[in-house]
Structure formats: structure tokens, C-alpha cells
Amino acid sequence: MKKIVIGTRGSKLAMVQAETVAAAIRQLHSDTEICISKITTRGDRESTAKLENIAGLGVFVKELEEALLDGRIDMAVHSLKDMTTEITSELHLAAVTKRVDPRDVFISRGKTLGGMSPGAKIGTGSLRRAIQLKVCRNDLEICSIRGNIDTRMRKVTDGEYDGTILAAAALKRLKLKTNTYEYLSKEQFLPAVGQGALAMEVCSNSDDVIRAIAPLNHLPTWRSITAERAFLKALGGGCRAPIAALGIISDNILRLEGMVGSISRNKLLQSFEEGDAEDANSIGIRLADKLQGMGGDEFIAEVRNEEIR
């Protein structure tokens, strides 16, 4: 190909992610011109709205997908966790990068999460993180926070919040350091589906682009996120329910851990399934069935009823 136009959100993190993918393509195809196009999404425009009020609609990807469909870009680079599980047949998730550390990290002005004083204000825009925080430390005040990584960290530094939780992958990609950079265990803070991986989305009929980026697909990550997304979809992933999952492969065995939370009950349901990594989709569906049988369907119905009101 002579030229590939990559679409991305305009934040510093999104640009770093797009540049990472662009550099990888240049290494594969030195004769191909790679350009990056910044596109503003609804999630960027409505930067003060609570994510739970606009989530489930692909608010960080929809405009990028529209740009793909109308030919303004050849490929979109997303944080995979921002992608919905339902993709139109006209579009195709072509490849994912090797996953960076999927864990969450706690940021504060020098204290660990366990060392925070009762009543401390912890900012998060994620229902998943909020319910896990409540279960872990129900004596803290959990507050809504929006903004890019720098903004959220500055709100902690300036004292507006006592702490916040961010994705380790984002901090690593931006090469940011802070006073307290505490990795949170997946036993207490299971990450969002796809966290730490980058997605390359193209039009389904873009055979040249699909072939060009195929070598970038990291198979272990692909299988892990396939299980995670199957789990999310089987649970009804378009809803706002706090859902988390992480697939880890060892000796071709995929272990998938999953969680569904209830804000009103301050309760988490967690379990796991494992099997041959080639059966990733089935593993995700089996785990969803298991958690639904444990009462997860009631948690999700609770959120859906809230959406209708």
C-alpha cells in the first residue's frame, strides 16, 4: 500500500498509542506512508458527564468508526476496553497489540490505598472500580472524576481528591511517575475487559489493510481478549453493570477470571473458567453462564432497570 491513514482520539495517550502502531507498521512496510488523523469523540466532547450516564454506546469509538465507514481513515486505533462487543458487519477488529500490564494502580499524595484515612475522597469515573473500592474500603468517599490522565493526576496533586485509580498501561505508555504508584492486585481489582491492549479496527472489505497489519496481531493477547469479550457479550455487555475480566494463558491453557458487581448491594460475584486457549470464545460464554447462575443476572437486571427510569 502507498498510504495508510490512522484515526485516533486527540488525547496525549491516544496519540502515543496511535504512534506506537504507526511505528510498527512502518517497520513492516517502509515504503508505505503512515498518517495520523485526530478525531473528536462524544466521550471527549462530554468531558464533564459521568461515564455511567453515557457508557455502553461506544462513546470513545463511534466517531472513529464513522470515519472508517465514510473513507476518511483506513484504520482506527482504540484502547480495546473502549470498544463495544457489538461491531457492525461492515467493520472488522483486525488485530490487537501485545498487552501491556493490565492492572490498575492507585495514585495519591504519598499513601497506599490501605493507608488512606477514613472519609478520604477517591476519584474514579468507572463503576467497576467504584464497586471494587466499596468492597475493599467502604469507609472511603468515592467521587466521580473525569478528564485525561494528566488532569486526574493534577486533581490529586492539587488536593481536590485524595487519590484516584488509573490503568497501569496508560501510565507506562505515557512514561509518567508519581509519588505513590501502587499496583492493585487483580484479586481485589480485576481490570476492565481488554485493558492494556490496543485494537486495530478496519472496514471489512479493506483486504490490503488487513493483510498489511496481520503480522502485528499478538495471538496470546487475541485469545485472551476473545474470551473476555465473549464473557462481556454473554452477560449483556452493552449495559452499565460493573463487569471485569482477565484472561491469562500458560502452556496453552487459558484461565479466565470474571467479576460482576452490584452498586446497591456493595457485593461482587467472582469466578473463573479455564481450558484450551483455542476455545477462548467458549470459555468466556461458560464463565458468563456460571456467574449468571450465581445471581449475576440479577445484578445486571438491576442496572438495566435503573437505565429505564
- Number of domains making up the chain: 3
Distance CA(43)–CA(53), nearest Å, equals: 11
189 is a domain residue: no
Per-residue pLDDT tens for 30-50? 999 999 999 987 656 554 445
Shared domain for 158 and 289, answered yes or no, is no
Per-residue pLDDT tens for 211-238? 999 999 999 999 999 999 999 999 986 5
Per-residue pLDDT tens for 254-299? 999 999 998 788 899 999 999 999 999 999 999 999 999 999 988 8
Shared domain for 86 and 173, answered yes or no, is no
Amino acid at 292: Q
Shared domain for 45 and 135, answered yes or no, is no
Instruction: Tell me the catalytic residues.
Output: 82
The grid coordinates of residue 6 equal: 490512522
Shared domain for 117 and 72, answered yes or no, is no
- Number of Cα atoms under 13 Å in the Cβ half of residue 129: 27
- The pLDDT assigned to 129 comes to 94
Domain extent, residue 124, equals 104-183
190 is a domain residue: no
Shared domain for 120 and 178, answered yes or no, is yes
Q: Is the pLDDT of residue 93 over 90?
A: yes
3-state secondary structure of 297: helix
- Number of Cα atoms under 13 Å in the Cβ half of residue 304: 11
- Compute the C-alpha angle 142/100/150, nearest 5°: 45
* pTM score: 0.92
